[in-house]
Structure 1
Amino acid sequence: MDPNSSVNVAVIIPFFQRERGVLQRALRSVAAQTLMPTIAMTVFLVDDGSPVPVSEEVEAFDIPAPHQLVILKQQNTGPGGARNCALDNIDPAHFDFVAFLDSDDEWLPCHLSQALISLGDEFDFYFCDHTRFDTKQSWFDDLDVTTAWKNSRETYLRQLDDRDSVFIVDPDDLFLGLLKEYLSQTSTVVFRFPNHSGLRFDTELRNAGEDHLFWLSLASSSCAVISFDSNVYCGKGVNIYYSAFDWNLKSSVDRYGYLVLFYLKIRSKFPLNAAGQSINNDNIRIFSRTYSYLFFRLFFKGKFPNISVTKTILHKSIYIVLLMPLNFIISAISGLDKRRSW
């Protein structure tokens, strides 16, 4: 990337929070980015019908020039729909890159500059490691895929430059890695927008998988670089992921239903090789059993599950819905509630 050329980056932040002050931390981390003077950020902050008014959160926030803040408002559609709202308002003729940041997360000051240096003029898709509020380990340290890559660098990774933490990943290895595990947390992702300006989040996957499907789409059509540096901190706000661990909530049942739908969409959207088909079929089997178990578990506790998710799955695979009672029995006998194996 020519250091003398101007670069415009769109930063997308979907906002739906119940706690005041969460967004302020995210915005301060954006303002604290150490960038060359030729790089300008425009923050697209999407108020997704948030209980905490966005006006209160940005009242004392002043983003330094040449950066700008744009506030968009809409009825609640979920994080994917909110990000799409921003993407629809970004001109690919003006913006070179898009960077995502969730409203309860924070960037380290070096995050965006490191991403842009890594992407350069050649690569389209970047993500890095991150740390979370609930653990001392980094995300990559907890994943089988990135651990295998790190331990066998000569097989999976090619060092990008003199930094010993940034690597080029073979597109096939990246795609299979993303099928196996959720590698790229949303707030770590930066991508070249003009080459993928038509890509959108699948809003049918409201509670799970919409971002994962987006990353798979990027991985299938571009070359990627990843950084093992933890340049992002993920905080605790309104978070669908963490609510999924409470199996007594309807939203948890829905989430696993959406995960079934997500893997069914992968099967129809991408031409999978034998290894990809095997991984995806295993995921469909695992999450179908979990969803079936939680669906009937909730029903037998006197609560009626959200049937609309089941109907959506039915349109994709009548077979999975017909097998739900059997999957419930298999899961109950195998002690799924005790093992929490999904």
Structure 2
Amino acid sequence: MIGVVIPYFQREPGVLRRAVASVIAQRDVQLPVHLCIVDDSSPLPAHQELAGLESGGVDVNVVVQPNGGPGAARNRGLDSLPSSCEFVAFLDSDDEWAPDHLARAMLALASGANVYFSNFYQLGQTVGAFERAGRLVANRHPTIDGAPGLHQYTGDMFDQVLRGNVIGTPTIVYRRARFENLRFRNDLARAGEDYLFWMAMAHAGARFAFSTQIEAVCGRGVNVYSGVEWATDAFFVRVRNELSYRKATRRLYALNPEQQAHVRRCIRQLRRDFALALLSRLRKGPRLPSGLLAAQWREDAGSLLLLPLALLPVH
């Protein structure tokens, strides 16, 4: 069985319904599919969104929980999957799969891989994420028989995620038994929790496979990362979460000198982003939320102590 986890928090009707329809529309999948939707106290309830939708043989389970963010919702979904689920796939509630996504994932995982990901369209894009970023050159990785565009990933995925991530969360499918106890960090509601998840997989020796075919399209909904605008309250939370993620990589793993230098540059850039956004809010408003500076101090005192230096360009 394949377990699909969708964390759900949306305000616009039709968003979740389209995502679920793309799961139901999967073709040539030899295993049964169990879909777990975790309603993270969505303003538009999942049951209301799915009323009257034919499941097409997919076993659909809706779990409702107090709002905790996407990481907490995915964790609840992982905990709620039946024990018979051999594979886990993630899809966000504002994204949609291509009809052959799961079938291609099963082919790739049958080749000996533990984790599968694919190319995808980011929000509003018509060029694939692989091509836009230029971080993954397919012909450097051996092909997998069975379908065009399938490859074994042969690089250092830990370093890839740390310095130039290529994995889109709505394209991930993995063997559950290999990572039975792996969970997302609940405290990183707006950034970094997925990267740490992939890095933990890589550090544990996962074998990755990927597809150059576009197998997911990111839609416009309540998106806790790409939907965040400059200098908003949510922007400051995202910067704080990204700082926490970058610092966690140094604490959890023995990074080589190049990786350490990369993390230092990222932290300097995040501090600069914080400083510029802070000055923008002080000049133009609205007033800063109470507790913002205290929260930033607790996470990264350097953001405030080094405020003048943070305004210098990062090289």
The 3 A distance-change label for structure 1 pair 171 and 219 is farther
CA contact (8 A) 2:111 2:144 kept: no
Alignment deviations for residues 214-272 of structure 1 (CA, whole Å, 9 cap, x no partner):
1121222211011111011111111122333x213111122122111111111111222
Q: Does the alignment pair 1:50 with 2:42?
A: yes
Listed as ranges, the gaps of 5+ residues in structure 2 are: none
TM-score (norm 1): 0.85
Alignment RMSD (CA, Å)? 2.0
1:40 corresponds to: 32
TM-score (norm 2): 0.92
Aligned equivalents of 1:12 and 1:322: distance in 2? 41
1:113 corresponds to: 103
Aligned equivalents of 1:162 and 1:63: distance in 2? 29
Percent identity over the alignment is 31
CA-CA distance at 1:46 after TM superposition: 0.5
Aligned with 1:257 (options 222, 225, 240): 240
Aligned equivalents of 1:206 and 1:309: distance in 2? 14
CA-CA distance at 1:160 after TM superposition: 2.3
Query: What letter corresponds to residue 232 of structure 1 in structure 2?
Result: A
Aligned equivalents of 1:310 and 1:133: distance in 2? 29
Listed as ranges, the gaps of 5+ residues in structure 1 are: 1-7, 335-340
1:150-189 matches, cutoff 5 A: 150=138, 153-154=139-140, 157-161=141-145, 163-172=147-156, 174-189=157-172
Aligned equivalents of 1:273 and 1:10: distance in 2? 36
CA-CA distance at 1:307 after TM superposition: 3.2
Query: What letter corresponds to residue 135 of structure 2 in structure 1?
Result: V
1:273 corresponds to: 256
Query: What letter corresponds to residue 54 of structure 2 in structure 1?
Result: D
1:75 corresponds to: 66
1:22 corresponds to: 15
The 3 A distance-change label for structure 1 pair 269 and 171 is farther
1:69 partner SS: strand
Query: What letter corresponds to residue 251 of structure 2 in structure 1?
Result: S
* Structure with more helix by fraction: 1
The 3 A distance-change label for structure 1 pair 289 and 122 is same
Aligned equivalents of 1:165 and 1:243: distance in 2? 31
Runs of 4+ in 1 over 6 A off after TM superposition: none
CA-CA distance at 1:131 after TM superposition: 1.5
1:138 corresponds to: 128
2:56 corresponds to: 64
The 3 A distance-change label for structure 1 pair 319 and 250 is closer
Aligned equivalents of 1:121 and 1:196: distance in 2? 18
Q: Paired residues, what number?
A: 311
